[in-house]
Amino acid sequence: MHLPSAASLLLAALSLPLASAGKDHGPGHGKKQGLNTLAKKAGLKYFGSATDSPGQRERAGLEASYAKYDEIMWKSDEFGQTTPTNGQKWLFVEPAPGIFNYTEGEIVASKAKKHGKHLRCHALVWHSQLAPWVETTEWTKETLRAAIVRHITKVAGHWKGRCYAWDVVNEALNEDGTWRESVFYKVLGEEYITLAFKTAAKVDPHAKLYYNDYNLELPGAKVEGAKRIVKMLQKQRVKIDGMGLQAHLVAEWGSPADIDRHIEVMRGFGSLGVEVALTELDVRLQTPYNTTNLALQKRSYKNIVGACVQVKECIGVTIWDFYDPFSWVPYVFPGEGAPLLWFEDFTTHPAYDGVVEALTNKTRRTPSKPAKGPRSSRLLRD
Protein backbone atom coordinates (compact mmCIF):
# COMPACT_ATOMS: atom_id res chain seq x y z
CA MET A 1 0.00 0.00 0.00
CA HIS A 2 2.90 2.24 0.71
CA LEU A 3 4.67 1.07 -2.38
CA PRO A 4 3.23 3.28 -5.12
CA SER A 5 3.76 6.45 -3.15
CA ALA A 6 7.21 5.32 -2.00
CA ALA A 7 8.15 4.62 -5.60
CA SER A 8 6.87 7.94 -6.85
CA LEU A 9 8.54 9.77 -4.00
CA LEU A 10 11.78 8.09 -4.85
CA LEU A 11 11.44 9.08 -8.48
CA ALA A 12 10.62 12.63 -7.55
CA ALA A 13 13.58 12.73 -5.20
CA LEU A 14 15.84 11.45 -7.90
CA SER A 15 14.12 13.74 -10.44
CA LEU A 16 14.34 11.01 -12.97
CA PRO A 17 11.96 11.13 -15.87
CA LEU A 18 12.33 8.06 -18.06
CA ALA A 19 13.11 10.48 -20.85
CA SER A 20 16.52 10.81 -19.27
CA ALA A 21 17.14 7.16 -20.13
CA GLY A 22 18.70 6.71 -23.48
CA LYS A 23 21.04 9.65 -23.74
CA ASP A 24 23.68 9.39 -26.35
CA HIS A 25 27.05 9.20 -24.66
CA GLY A 26 28.71 7.48 -27.57
CA PRO A 27 32.00 8.71 -28.91
CA GLY A 28 30.24 11.46 -30.81
CA HIS A 29 28.54 12.91 -27.78
CA GLY A 30 30.42 16.15 -28.03
CA LYS A 31 31.87 18.25 -25.29
CA LYS A 32 30.78 16.14 -22.34
CA GLN A 33 33.68 14.81 -20.30
CA GLY A 34 34.03 11.08 -20.05
CA LEU A 35 33.84 9.15 -16.81
CA ASN A 36 37.60 8.64 -16.53
CA THR A 37 38.24 12.34 -16.95
CA LEU A 38 35.70 13.12 -14.24
CA ALA A 39 37.09 10.39 -11.96
CA LYS A 40 40.59 11.79 -12.20
CA LYS A 41 39.29 15.25 -11.36
CA ALA A 42 37.61 13.72 -8.31
CA GLY A 43 40.97 12.35 -7.14
CA LEU A 44 40.66 8.77 -8.36
CA LYS A 45 43.32 7.00 -10.34
CA TYR A 46 40.87 5.73 -12.95
CA PHE A 47 37.34 4.87 -13.95
CA GLY A 48 37.51 1.71 -16.03
CA SER A 49 35.61 -1.06 -17.69
CA ALA A 50 36.41 -4.73 -17.89
CA THR A 51 36.22 -6.20 -21.35
CA ASP A 52 36.36 -9.61 -22.90
CA SER A 53 38.43 -10.74 -25.82
CA PRO A 54 36.26 -11.09 -28.93
CA GLY A 55 36.77 -14.84 -28.70
CA GLN A 56 34.85 -14.83 -25.45
CA ARG A 57 32.13 -12.32 -26.22
CA GLU A 58 31.08 -13.75 -29.57
CA ARG A 59 28.32 -15.66 -27.82
CA ALA A 60 26.36 -12.42 -27.62
CA GLY A 61 26.02 -12.60 -31.43
CA LEU A 62 26.45 -8.87 -31.82
CA GLU A 63 29.51 -8.63 -34.00
CA ALA A 64 27.89 -5.70 -35.83
CA SER A 65 28.23 -3.60 -32.68
CA TYR A 66 31.93 -4.18 -32.24
CA ALA A 67 33.15 -1.06 -34.01
CA LYS A 68 31.05 1.25 -31.88
CA TYR A 69 31.84 -0.80 -28.78
CA ASP A 70 35.56 -0.63 -29.42
CA GLU A 71 35.41 3.07 -30.00
CA ILE A 72 33.86 3.71 -26.59
CA MET A 73 36.04 1.11 -24.88
CA TRP A 74 39.39 2.17 -26.27
CA LYS A 75 39.17 5.57 -27.92
CA SER A 76 36.93 7.69 -25.73
CA ASP A 77 37.79 9.26 -22.37
CA GLU A 78 35.14 7.18 -20.60
CA PHE A 79 37.63 4.57 -19.38
CA GLY A 80 41.21 4.83 -18.22
CA GLN A 81 41.55 1.24 -17.08
CA THR A 82 40.54 -2.24 -18.07
CA THR A 83 40.49 -5.81 -16.77
CA PRO A 84 40.20 -8.92 -18.95
CA THR A 85 36.93 -10.47 -17.79
CA ASN A 86 38.09 -14.00 -18.53
CA GLY A 87 41.38 -14.31 -20.39
CA GLN A 88 43.77 -14.50 -17.42
CA LYS A 89 41.82 -17.12 -15.47
CA TRP A 90 43.35 -20.50 -14.71
CA LEU A 91 41.04 -22.28 -17.17
CA PHE A 92 42.45 -20.26 -20.06
CA VAL A 93 46.06 -19.74 -19.03
CA GLU A 94 46.91 -23.21 -17.75
CA PRO A 95 44.34 -25.55 -19.29
CA ALA A 96 46.59 -28.58 -18.78
CA PRO A 97 49.29 -29.04 -16.14
CA GLY A 98 52.32 -26.95 -17.07
CA ILE A 99 50.83 -25.95 -20.44
CA PHE A 100 50.43 -22.18 -20.54
CA ASN A 101 48.43 -20.17 -23.06
CA TYR A 102 48.27 -16.40 -22.78
CA THR A 103 46.38 -15.71 -26.02
CA GLU A 104 43.03 -14.61 -24.60
CA GLY A 105 44.51 -12.48 -21.84
CA GLU A 106 46.96 -10.88 -24.27
CA ILE A 107 44.17 -9.63 -26.52
CA VAL A 108 42.96 -7.31 -23.79
CA ALA A 109 46.36 -6.64 -22.19
CA SER A 110 47.94 -5.55 -25.46
CA LYS A 111 45.01 -3.27 -26.33
CA ALA A 112 45.26 -1.71 -22.88
CA LYS A 113 48.89 -0.95 -23.56
CA LYS A 114 48.24 0.38 -27.05
CA HIS A 115 45.52 2.75 -25.84
CA GLY A 116 47.25 3.79 -22.63
CA LYS A 117 44.80 2.22 -20.16
CA HIS A 118 45.80 0.92 -16.75
CA LEU A 119 45.51 -2.85 -16.58
CA ARG A 120 44.11 -4.71 -13.57
CA CYS A 121 44.99 -8.37 -13.83
CA HIS A 122 42.48 -11.01 -12.73
CA ALA A 123 42.69 -13.62 -11.11
CA LEU A 124 45.51 -15.93 -10.02
CA VAL A 125 43.95 -18.29 -7.47
CA TRP A 126 40.19 -18.84 -7.63
CA HIS A 127 37.96 -21.87 -7.13
CA SER A 128 35.83 -21.02 -10.17
CA GLN A 129 36.78 -21.18 -13.85
CA LEU A 130 39.55 -23.40 -12.68
CA ALA A 131 41.03 -25.84 -15.17
CA PRO A 132 39.29 -29.18 -14.46
CA TRP A 133 42.61 -30.95 -13.84
CA VAL A 134 43.16 -28.88 -10.73
CA GLU A 135 40.06 -30.37 -9.18
CA THR A 136 40.58 -33.92 -10.33
CA THR A 137 44.24 -34.32 -9.37
CA GLU A 138 44.92 -36.20 -6.14
CA TRP A 139 47.05 -33.63 -4.37
CA THR A 140 49.39 -33.83 -1.47
CA LYS A 141 50.20 -30.57 0.28
CA GLU A 142 53.54 -30.56 -1.41
CA THR A 143 52.30 -31.12 -4.97
CA LEU A 144 49.54 -28.52 -4.68
CA ARG A 145 51.97 -25.96 -3.25
CA ALA A 146 54.22 -26.58 -6.21
CA ALA A 147 51.31 -26.23 -8.67
CA ILE A 148 50.26 -22.89 -7.16
CA VAL A 149 53.82 -21.58 -7.21
CA ARG A 150 54.32 -22.68 -10.83
CA HIS A 151 51.00 -21.14 -11.92
CA ILE A 152 51.67 -17.78 -10.31
CA THR A 153 55.31 -17.72 -11.35
CA LYS A 154 54.42 -18.30 -15.00
CA VAL A 155 51.28 -16.17 -15.21
CA ALA A 156 52.32 -13.17 -13.11
CA GLY A 157 55.76 -13.53 -14.70
CA HIS A 158 54.26 -13.33 -18.19
CA TRP A 159 52.49 -10.05 -17.42
CA LYS A 160 55.23 -8.73 -15.15
CA GLY A 161 55.44 -4.95 -15.14
CA ARG A 162 52.17 -4.53 -17.03
CA CYS A 163 49.60 -4.98 -14.26
CA TYR A 164 48.76 -2.05 -12.05
CA ALA A 165 47.28 -4.68 -9.75
CA TRP A 166 46.72 -8.42 -9.53
CA ASP A 167 43.75 -10.08 -7.91
CA VAL A 168 45.93 -12.68 -6.25
CA VAL A 169 43.21 -14.59 -4.43
CA ASN A 170 39.57 -14.32 -5.46
CA GLU A 171 36.50 -15.28 -3.43
CA ALA A 172 38.11 -17.30 -0.63
CA LEU A 173 35.29 -16.55 1.81
CA ASN A 174 31.79 -17.81 2.51
CA GLU A 175 29.05 -15.30 3.29
CA ASP A 176 29.51 -15.83 7.04
CA GLY A 177 33.20 -15.01 6.81
CA THR A 178 34.43 -18.59 7.12
CA TRP A 179 36.78 -20.10 4.57
CA ARG A 180 35.30 -21.43 1.35
CA GLU A 181 35.97 -25.15 0.92
CA SER A 182 37.82 -24.84 -2.38
CA VAL A 183 40.29 -27.46 -3.51
CA PHE A 184 43.03 -25.09 -2.34
CA TYR A 185 41.57 -24.76 1.15
CA LYS A 186 40.74 -28.43 1.49
CA VAL A 187 44.33 -29.48 0.83
CA LEU A 188 46.31 -26.61 2.31
CA GLY A 189 44.05 -24.67 4.66
CA GLU A 190 44.57 -20.91 4.84
CA GLU A 191 48.22 -21.42 4.03
CA TYR A 192 47.35 -21.30 0.31
CA ILE A 193 46.49 -17.62 0.63
CA THR A 194 49.82 -16.76 2.19
CA LEU A 195 51.63 -18.83 -0.42
CA ALA A 196 49.81 -17.10 -3.28
CA PHE A 197 50.58 -13.58 -2.05
CA LYS A 198 54.18 -14.44 -1.20
CA THR A 199 54.76 -15.89 -4.64
CA ALA A 200 53.09 -12.99 -6.47
CA ALA A 201 55.16 -10.47 -4.49
CA LYS A 202 58.33 -12.24 -5.49
CA VAL A 203 57.41 -12.52 -9.17
CA ASP A 204 56.06 -9.00 -9.78
CA PRO A 205 57.17 -6.78 -6.91
CA HIS A 206 55.65 -3.64 -8.40
CA ALA A 207 52.11 -4.88 -8.93
CA LYS A 208 49.61 -4.01 -6.20
CA LEU A 209 48.45 -7.27 -4.72
CA TYR A 210 44.73 -7.51 -3.96
CA TYR A 211 42.34 -9.83 -2.24
CA ASN A 212 39.07 -9.62 -4.24
CA ASP A 213 35.55 -10.77 -3.33
CA TYR A 214 31.83 -10.00 -3.70
CA ASN A 215 29.41 -8.86 -0.99
CA LEU A 216 32.06 -6.76 0.71
CA GLU A 217 30.22 -3.51 0.09
CA LEU A 218 28.18 -3.41 3.30
CA PRO A 219 29.33 -4.15 6.86
CA GLY A 220 28.93 -7.74 8.02
CA ALA A 221 30.57 -11.07 8.67
CA LYS A 222 32.15 -11.36 5.23
CA VAL A 223 33.81 -7.96 5.58
CA GLU A 224 35.20 -9.11 8.91
CA GLY A 225 36.52 -12.23 7.17
CA ALA A 226 38.24 -10.09 4.56
CA LYS A 227 39.83 -7.97 7.27
CA ARG A 228 41.06 -11.18 8.87
CA ILE A 229 42.86 -12.02 5.62
CA VAL A 230 44.58 -8.63 5.55
CA LYS A 231 45.65 -8.96 9.18
CA MET A 232 46.78 -12.55 8.74
CA LEU A 233 49.09 -11.57 5.87
CA GLN A 234 50.36 -8.46 7.61
CA LYS A 235 51.14 -10.47 10.72
CA GLN A 236 53.29 -12.79 8.63
CA ARG A 237 54.86 -9.79 6.89
CA VAL A 238 53.47 -10.90 3.56
CA LYS A 239 52.64 -8.10 1.15
CA ILE A 240 48.99 -7.23 0.54
CA ASP A 241 48.20 -3.84 -0.97
CA GLY A 242 44.54 -3.78 -1.74
CA MET A 243 41.01 -4.93 -1.11
CA GLY A 244 38.88 -5.44 -4.21
CA LEU A 245 35.17 -4.93 -3.67
CA GLN A 246 33.63 -6.65 -6.67
CA ALA A 247 30.37 -4.75 -6.17
CA HIS A 248 27.93 -6.98 -8.04
CA LEU A 249 24.90 -5.16 -6.68
CA VAL A 250 21.14 -5.61 -7.05
CA ALA A 251 19.12 -2.44 -7.73
CA GLU A 252 16.06 -3.64 -5.86
CA TRP A 253 18.06 -4.33 -2.68
CA GLY A 254 19.60 -0.89 -2.29
CA SER A 255 18.65 1.74 0.25
CA PRO A 256 19.35 5.48 0.42
CA ALA A 257 21.56 4.99 3.48
CA ASP A 258 23.86 2.58 1.66
CA ILE A 259 26.35 5.33 0.91
CA ASP A 260 27.15 5.68 4.60
CA ARG A 261 27.60 1.95 5.01
CA HIS A 262 29.79 1.74 1.90
CA ILE A 263 31.92 4.53 3.32
CA GLU A 264 32.16 2.74 6.67
CA VAL A 265 33.40 -0.45 5.02
CA MET A 266 35.89 1.31 2.75
CA ARG A 267 37.30 3.34 5.63
CA GLY A 268 37.54 0.16 7.69
CA PHE A 269 39.74 -1.47 5.07
CA GLY A 270 41.67 1.75 4.64
CA SER A 271 42.43 1.87 8.34
CA LEU A 272 44.25 -1.46 7.98
CA GLY A 273 46.64 0.22 5.56
CA VAL A 274 45.40 -1.22 2.27
CA GLU A 275 43.88 0.62 -0.66
CA VAL A 276 40.40 -0.19 -1.91
CA ALA A 277 38.97 -0.48 -5.42
CA LEU A 278 35.59 -1.30 -6.85
CA THR A 279 36.68 -4.02 -9.21
CA GLU A 280 33.62 -5.50 -10.95
CA LEU A 281 30.80 -3.04 -10.47
CA ASP A 282 27.41 -3.81 -11.97
CA VAL A 283 23.89 -3.30 -10.64
CA ARG A 284 21.46 -5.86 -11.95
CA LEU A 285 17.72 -5.41 -12.34
CA GLN A 286 14.67 -7.55 -12.79
CA THR A 287 14.05 -7.48 -16.53
CA PRO A 288 12.35 -6.05 -18.46
CA TYR A 289 13.57 -2.84 -16.86
CA ASN A 290 11.25 0.04 -16.11
CA THR A 291 11.41 3.60 -14.84
CA THR A 292 11.35 2.52 -11.23
CA ASN A 293 14.14 -0.01 -11.26
CA LEU A 294 16.29 2.15 -13.51
CA ALA A 295 15.93 4.86 -10.85
CA LEU A 296 16.92 2.40 -8.14
CA GLN A 297 19.87 1.35 -10.24
CA LYS A 298 20.93 4.96 -10.62
CA ARG A 299 20.81 5.38 -6.87
CA SER A 300 22.95 2.27 -6.29
CA TYR A 301 25.62 3.37 -8.76
CA LYS A 302 25.62 6.85 -7.31
CA ASN A 303 25.91 5.59 -3.74
CA ILE A 304 28.79 3.24 -4.33
CA VAL A 305 30.78 5.51 -6.64
CA GLY A 306 30.00 8.43 -4.32
CA ALA A 307 31.40 6.47 -1.41
CA CYS A 308 34.58 5.70 -3.31
CA VAL A 309 35.05 9.37 -4.15
CA GLN A 310 34.73 10.28 -0.48
CA VAL A 311 37.14 7.70 0.95
CA LYS A 312 40.73 8.57 0.31
CA GLU A 313 41.87 4.94 0.18
CA CYS A 314 39.43 4.10 -2.62
CA ILE A 315 41.53 4.55 -5.73
CA GLY A 316 39.38 3.50 -8.65
CA VAL A 317 36.23 2.01 -10.09
CA THR A 318 35.91 -0.74 -12.69
CA ILE A 319 32.55 -1.67 -14.15
CA TRP A 320 32.21 -5.29 -15.27
CA ASP A 321 31.96 -4.36 -18.97
CA PHE A 322 29.93 -1.31 -19.96
CA TYR A 323 27.56 -2.63 -22.63
CA ASP A 324 24.51 -4.60 -21.45
CA PRO A 325 24.60 -7.28 -24.17
CA PHE A 326 28.09 -8.31 -23.07
CA SER A 327 27.22 -8.63 -19.39
CA TRP A 328 27.54 -11.94 -17.60
CA VAL A 329 24.37 -11.28 -15.58
CA PRO A 330 21.62 -12.78 -17.79
CA TYR A 331 23.63 -15.99 -18.10
CA VAL A 332 24.03 -16.44 -14.38
CA PHE A 333 20.93 -14.78 -12.90
CA PRO A 334 17.89 -15.73 -14.99
CA GLY A 335 15.30 -12.93 -15.13
CA GLU A 336 17.88 -10.27 -14.36
CA GLY A 337 19.95 -8.09 -16.63
CA ALA A 338 20.66 -4.56 -17.88
CA PRO A 339 23.25 -4.07 -15.14
CA LEU A 340 25.67 -1.77 -16.94
CA LEU A 341 25.74 1.84 -18.12
CA TRP A 342 25.11 1.47 -21.86
CA PHE A 343 21.96 -0.09 -23.32
CA GLU A 344 22.04 -2.35 -26.37
CA ASP A 345 21.50 0.66 -28.69
CA PHE A 346 24.49 2.44 -27.09
CA THR A 347 22.39 5.08 -25.35
CA THR A 348 23.20 5.39 -21.66
CA HIS A 349 21.27 4.36 -18.57
CA PRO A 350 20.05 6.95 -16.07
CA ALA A 351 22.73 5.37 -13.87
CA TYR A 352 25.35 6.92 -16.14
CA ASP A 353 24.16 10.32 -14.90
CA GLY A 354 24.24 8.95 -11.35
CA VAL A 355 27.91 8.09 -11.78
CA VAL A 356 28.59 11.55 -13.22
CA GLU A 357 26.86 13.11 -10.21
CA ALA A 358 28.91 10.98 -7.83
CA LEU A 359 32.16 11.83 -9.60
CA THR A 360 31.36 15.51 -9.43
CA ASN A 361 30.85 15.23 -5.68
CA LYS A 362 27.10 15.59 -5.71
CA THR A 363 26.70 12.85 -3.09
CA ARG A 364 28.12 14.83 -0.22
CA ARG A 365 25.55 15.91 2.30
CA THR A 366 27.37 18.53 4.29
CA PRO A 367 29.12 21.63 3.00
CA SER A 368 32.39 20.57 1.52
CA LYS A 369 35.89 21.55 2.33
CA PRO A 370 38.91 20.58 0.34
CA ALA A 371 40.86 17.54 1.49
CA LYS A 372 44.46 18.10 2.45
CA GLY A 373 47.37 16.66 0.56
CA PRO A 374 47.77 15.44 -2.98
CA ARG A 375 44.10 14.60 -3.42
CA SER A 376 43.02 18.16 -2.81
CA SER A 377 40.42 18.06 -5.55
CA ARG A 378 38.47 15.67 -3.36
CA LEU A 379 35.60 17.01 -1.33
CA LEU A 380 34.90 15.54 2.07
CA ARG A 381 31.59 15.04 3.75
CA ASP A 382 32.56 16.16 7.19
Which residues does the annotation mark as catalytic? 171, 280
The interface mask with ligand XIL, positions 108-127, x = CB under 6 A, is: ---------------x----
Q: Is 328 one of the binding residues for ligand XIL (CB under 6 A)?
A: yes
Q: What phi and psi, each to the nearest 5 degrees, are found at residue 168?
A: -80, -50
Tell me the per-residue interface mask from 215 to 254 with ligand XIL, x by CB under 6 A, - otherwise.
-------------------------------x--------
Give the residue ranges of DSSP H helices in 214-290: 221-235, 258-270
Among 104, 217, 280, 353, the residue binding ligand XIL under the rule CB under 6 A is 280
Q: What are phi and psi of 123, to 5 degrees?
A: -145, 140
Whole-number Å distance between alpha carbons of 134 and 200: 19
CA distance 241 to 247: 19
Residue number with CB closer to ligand XIL (249 or 309): 249
CA distances from 210 to 73, 89, 123, 183 (A): 24, 15, 10, 20
- Our CB check for ligand XIL shows the closer of 258 and 280 to be 280
If you count DSSP H runs as helices and E runs as strands, how many of each does the chain have, helices first? 15, 12
85 binds ligand XIL (CB under 6 A): yes
The answer to whether residue 104 forms part of the interface with ligand XIL (CB under 6 A) is: no
Q: How far is the CB of 14 from ligand XIL (least distance, A)?
A: 28
Asked if 212 and 170 count as a contact pair (C-beta separation under 8 A), the reply is yes
d(CA 371, CA 312) in angstroms, rounded, equals: 9
Distance between CA atoms of residues 26 and 72, nearest Å: 6
**Calpha distance 375→373 (Å, rounded):** 6
182 counts as binding ligand XIL under rule CB under 6 A: no
Q: Which is nearer to ligand XIL, 16 or 319 (CB)?
A: 319
Q: Total residues contacting ligand XIL (rule CB under 6 A)?
A: 7
Closest approach of ligand XIL to the CB of residue 168, in Å: 12
Considering the complex, what minimum distance in angstroms separates the CB of residue 125 from ligand XIL?
12
What would the x/- binding string for ligand XIL be over residues 45 to 84, using CB under 6 A?
----------------------------------------
- Closest residue to ligand XIL, judged by C-beta, is 328
As a whole number of angstroms, the distance between CA 266 and CA 217 comes to: 8
Query: Are the CB atoms for 338 and 284 separated by under 8 Å?
Result: yes
Residues engaged in binding ligand XIL (CB under 6 A): 85-86, 123, 170, 246, 280, 328
